[in-house]
Amino acid sequence: MELRKAWCRATAHPTYQKDWSESNPSYGQCAITALAMQDLYGGDIYECKVQGKRHYVNITPEGYLHDLTSEQFGDGQIVYAEMKPRTRASLLKSQSVRERYQLLKARLEEN
């Protein structure tokens, strides 16, 4: 299954689940998507800010920035210039992230 099709209300961050919709499927999906992208392509996870909130992106081993969930912010300014590296372990410390990441992986493996 394609990553974008694996997103659902249950994989969104709990704070965003009530507002999640199929018209904005990336809403609240950045942390688990960054983990899945790292599984698929390697590289590193970085944290940046959007309207004062945390947002996660990937930089591949070749040095390319990938932000598969940027559209969730509409016209919101993503501050890539101030990115901080984050470890996989730091994201997975959160039980919510672990559970949503496991659900995303299961949904990806369905097809």
pLDDT more than 70, % of the chain = 98
Over residues 18-47, the mean pLDDT reads 96
26, 21, 41, 38: which is closest to 86 by C-alpha? Answer: 38
Strands ordered across the beta sheet of 65-66:
65-66, 53-59, 44-50, 78-86
Q: 109 or 76: whose pLDDT is higher?
A: 109
Token pair, residue 103, equals: 């659900």
- pTM of structure: 0.94
